[in-house]
Amino acid sequence: MSWWNPTDVGRATRALLVDLGRGARLFVRLLASLGTTLQRGRLIVDQVHFLGNHSLAIITVSGLFVGFVLGLQGYYTLQRYGSAEALGLLVALSLVRELGPVVTALLFAGRAGTSLTAEIGLMKAGEQLAAMEMMAVDPVQRVLAPRFWGGVIAMPLLAAVFSAVGIVGGYLVGVPLIGIDAGGFWSQMQGGVDVFKDVGNGIVKSFVFGLTVSFVALLQGYTCQPTPEGVSRATTRTVVIASLAVLALDFVLTAMMFSV
């Protein structure tokens, strides 16, 4: 009953290091593939359509409801201090700086990341990737890179849509429903939201999250066990790892950007 057998620990550590090295190598290859992928625009367009357009519905609806809730909860807190007009500022700042990029990335991992992993994993299980290699076609260049850059392009756009719709949602709850003054709502928002510090950094965040989620999804698909069970496990791991990575990176990015 010695589950902590030193040999096992050593083997696990080595396996971990091998995985890490393989992941880093794939990441560098994906980044380096930017030039060749951009020349094959059609592949990227198809992936942006698959990852972006099809996620638009879930992003819009979630953004609207997050905006609604922020409006109600923010009003509940702010009216205690008699500053209900600051609701616009509160809704806009929380969406643009934090909730927009993070919630979009989590939804993107669930909606698009899983499908990426399953697709690549099934391609691997069906030996399609191996067949490509036999024909001297690099599957990383032909299959993985367009999906990666498609996700990286789609993610900031989705996050911006999420934030914009959320602000409209906050407006709908705050102004017509609760009866806050519309002028105060917008002018406080415009007075307090900085284009570069808040909106710009939010976009940078969502770009980084796009890189993270797409990469994790592709890595899990590319390195999964080529069996039905392996693909299902890889899909689960995509959601778990991508979500954790997004939340951890969010803390690091926030600490770096907003420390001033």
Partner 1 sequence: MQASKHDLWVGLFVMVGAAAVLFLALKAGNLLSLNFEDSYEVTARFDNIGGLKKGAAVKSAGVVVGRVAAIGFDATTYQASVQLDVEKRFTFPKDSSAKILTAGLLGEQYIGIEPGAEEKLLAAGDRITSTQSAVVLENLISQFLFNQASQAGSDEGAKK
Q: Enumerate binding residues for partner 1 (CB under 8 A).
A: 41-42, 45-46, 48-49, 52-53, 56, 92, 96, 154, 156-158, 160-161, 163-165, 167, 186, 189-191, 193-195, 198-199, 202-203
What's the min distance (Å) between Cβ of 16 and partner 1? 38
Residue 71: helix, strand or coil by DSSP?
Answer: helix
CA angle 109, 71, 80 (to 5 degrees): 135
What's the min distance (Å) between Cβ of 200 and partner 1? 9
What's the min distance (Å) between Cβ of 199 and partner 1? 5
* C-beta closer to partner 1: residue 6 or 82: 82
Calpha distance 177→228 (Å, rounded): 50
* C-beta closer to partner 1: residue 182 or 245: 182
Question: CB–CB of 170/91 below 8 Å?
Answer: yes
* C-beta closer to partner 1: residue 100 or 121: 100
* C-beta closer to partner 1: residue 86 or 239: 86
User: Which residues are within 8 A (CB) of 99 and not within 5 positions of it... i.e. 6 or more apart?
Assistant: 66, 70, 162, 163, 166
* C-beta closer to partner 1: residue 30 or 48: 48
* C-beta closer to partner 1: residue 129 or 160: 160
Calpha distance 114→148 (Å, rounded): 13
* C-beta closer to partner 1: residue 22 or 49: 49
User: Which residues are within 8 A (CB) of 18 and not within 5 positions of it... i.e. 6 or more apart?
Assistant: none
What's the min distance (Å) between Cβ of 120 and partner 1? 20
The closest of 167, 128, 96 to 175, measured between CA atoms, is: 167
What's the min distance (Å) between Cβ of 48 and partner 1? 5
The closest of 64, 23, 158, 39 to 102, measured between CA atoms, is: 158
Q: What is the DSSP letter of 213?
A: H
Q: What is the DSSP letter of 144?
A: I
- Backbone phi, then psi, for 17, in 5-degree steps? -65, -40
What's the min distance (Å) between Cβ of 40 and partner 1? 8
What's the min distance (Å) between Cβ of 154 and partner 1? 8
How do the residues of the chain divide into helix, strand and coil, expressed in percent and rounded to 5? 90, 0, 10
Question: CB–CB of 71/87 below 8 Å?
Answer: yes
* C-beta closer to partner 1: residue 121 or 174: 174
What's the min distance (Å) between Cβ of 176 and partner 1? 17
Give residue for tokens 């980084």: 208
